[in-house]
Structure 1
Amino acid sequence: MDSSAKPLISLLSHTLIILFLCFAPFLPSVKSIPDYNSLVYKTCANQIFTTQSGDSYAQTLSSLFQALISQSSNSKFFKTTAGDEQTAMSGLFQCRGDISDGDCRDCVGTISEIANNLCGETVAARIQLFGCYMQYEYETDESSSPDNSGSPELLYKTCGESMATAEPSGFGEMMAAAFAAVESGVVSNNGFYRVEYEKVVVLAQCGGDLGGCDCGECVNNALQIAKDGCQNSVSGQIYMDSCFVIYTYYPDGIPGDSQPEGGGGGGGGNNTGKTMAIAVGAVAAIFFGFLFLAFLKSRGKKDEDY
């Protein structure tokens, strides 16, 4: 090997080692967020299918799941029925308005995979993941479609951590302005709206078949529950039967690529998107650097052989 190449190889080796040591602490934190397939809540009917109807139920439910999944690649909301007059089941899914078609399909597919484990052979269920929900029920002569004309019903509520200290100055006004903006925006934006206001991220969505006035009423009820039930919390999730609201307060300012974290604690979060990009770039640089180093050593060995 040419003696002039040895210092270059030595310098490159030390540089790659330093890069690896600098970026190694970031590598374990590289993950895909948010996790749209994480379970938020489930409601399962108490009534189960009898042994005699169990096989028919399983076959009909499987057909229903397949029909819903097939539509989830190109639609955020879809409802249908499956089975015959004796085994008819109705079902629907809805994905968040800000997720991709691929994430929507993955989310709906995840529900179909875990539904039996979560609820077993119940005649009806509703399963809410962070990115989507699905509900289904066995159609009987007594069953009827949900009546959306009544008052919205609270299905699930969770509040994040309470503030360790007193509320910062202007916090109440900040939350009120963000809530008002999302309440107004969700009606005029086809049932889905996301707001970033100062240090708050709020997201609201209504059911795909809910009218504008009913959507506004549902979101208003959810926001009132958040105000009353999560007063001193930095985050919250309010799921009604036909809409939901999730929000997060970031005391250090809203980070890039932020998502409302709901009941997960929130408040401050890391800029994971940028961290992931830096870490992936570092891994690529280290990988190609080692390839280049191996190439130089191989060339040097061939020169020595000659």
Structure 2
Amino acid sequence: MGSSFSLRPFFLSLSFIVLFTNLELSSMVESGSDITTLVYKGCAKQAFTDPGGVYSQALSALFQTLLSQSMKVKFYKTTTGTAQTTINGLFQCRGDLSNSDCYNCVSKLPTLSDKLCGSNTIASRIQLVGCYMLYEVSGFPQISGMEMLYKTCGGGNGGGGVGFEEKRDTAFSVLENGVVNNHGFFTTNYQSVYVSGQCEGDIGDSDCGECIKNAVQKAQVECGDSNSGQIYLHKCFISYNYYIHGVPKRSSSSSSHPLAAASTETGQDTGKTVAIILGGAAGIGFIVILMMFARNSMKKHEDS
């Protein structure tokens, strides 16, 4: 009886370790490995009153137009509705996606907008790893193109090692020129720092360069010595990752983005850690079982 009670807490805790690490590993692998992974959402607090369904019809028509165009182009901006029910909208895909990947990404956006923001919000912006969509009812207050909408920074406290900030800043400098020279989208790596940047498709090279420069400055201030970061402004975004062992090669567009790269590398490292934890736990469990077996055998020998 005593041995069964002593073993139960161990196996309960081992089951918890397995469950917890599997969930953690799954979420880390999935967090950026797919172009349709959600990065952030922006939803207006106001909703439109639509007793006749005119706004809903205009919004549905907008979604259909954006989706059909995503099979042909990576950026499209349009307006639907009448003078009283005008809705402006656009989508943009990452510059390195194929037409089919762009379409697959954009096809998720209408449903996500409805799910995350509601079907009658007057403005919505949904950003996925590979694309984003924005719509707003005419008259919705405009914001500056330099307005920061979202940021994320990882691995601080000197995570990049000695000389990291110099490497990152040089990569940023290359990025600033590259985005302008390539008219809105550019990726490159410099000494194990992978950088990526993109501007909204309807702004000129000069404004694009200014936006990217602003995003770089925000990354330097907001993320400090973090070895990875993403900064999303209203009209552009930048992303960077530092890889100690060099930037890994990628074979498909769905895993070529720095968000995907970071999660993949982290996921691999976490997998090793999980294996060590589970292996160690299993070893301890085996030892405990042997000890309990030996103790019971000795008891039986003494009783006889």
TM > 0.5 fold call: yes
C-alpha separation in 2, matches of 1:187 and 1:38? 27
Could you tell me which of 191, 201, 205 is aligned with 2:194? 201
Counterpart contact for 2:160–2:242, Cα < 8 Å? no
Residue 34 of structure 2 aligns with an amino acid whose one-letter code is D
For residues 18-53 of structure 1, the C-alpha deviation after alignment (integer angstroms, 9 at most, x for no partner) is xxxxxxxxxx9x99x731101111111111012525
Q: Which residue of 2 aligns with 1:17?
A: none
2:104 aligns to what SS in structure 1?
Answer: helix
Contact kept in structure 2, 1:79 and 1:92, CA below 8 Å: yes
Aligned to 1:251: 244
- 1:17-166 map, 5 Å: 34-53=33-52, 55-120=53-118, 121-139=120-138, 142-143=139-140, 146=142, 152-163=146-157
From the superposition, tell whether residues 167 and 236 of structure 1 become closer, same or farther in structure 2 (CA, over 3 Å). Answer: closer
1:149-228 alignment runs, 5 A limit? 152-163=146-157, 167-228=160-221
Aligned pair count? 237
Question: Alpha-carbon deviation of 1:169?
Answer: 2.4
Q: Deviations over 1:47-106 (max 9, x none)?
A: 1012525x2222111110000000001101001111222222110001100111111111
Distance 1:220 1:205 in 2: 12
> Structure 2 vs 1, CA of residues 182 and 128 (structure 1 numbering), >3 Å: closer, same or farther?
same
How far 1:232 sits from its partner (Å)?
A: 2.1
Conserved 8 A contact 1:234-1:267: no
CA contact under 8 A between 1:77 and 1:208: conserved in structure 2? yes
Deviations 1:240-280 (A, max 9, x none): 00000011111121111153128966766759xxxxxxxxx
- Aligned counterparts of 1:123 and 1:239: Cα–Cα separation in 2: 22
Residue 263 to residue 117, structure 1, CA distance change in 2 (3 Å): farther
Aligned equivalents of 2:45, 2:137: Cα separation in 1: 13
Match of 1:234 among 227, 230, 240: 227
**Structure 1 residue ranges, 4+ long, deviating more than 4 angstroms after superposition:** 262-271
**Aligned partner letter, 2:220:** K
SS across alignment from 2:155:
coil
Distance in 2, Cα, partners of 1:124 & 1:151: 16
TM-score by length of 2: 0.71
Letter in 1 for 2:124: A
Aligned pair in 2 of structure 1 residues 173, 66: CA closer, same or farther (>3 Å)? same
Q: 1:166 to 1:233 in 2, by over 3 A?
A: closer
SS at match of 1:52: coil
Query: Mean Cα displacement is larger for which, 238-247 or 78-87?
Result: 78-87
In the alignment, residue 86 of structure 2 is paired with which amino acid? A
* Alignment partners' CA distance in 2, 1:264 and 1:112: 27
CA apart distance, 1:151: 6.2
Change (3 A) 1:167 1:111: closer
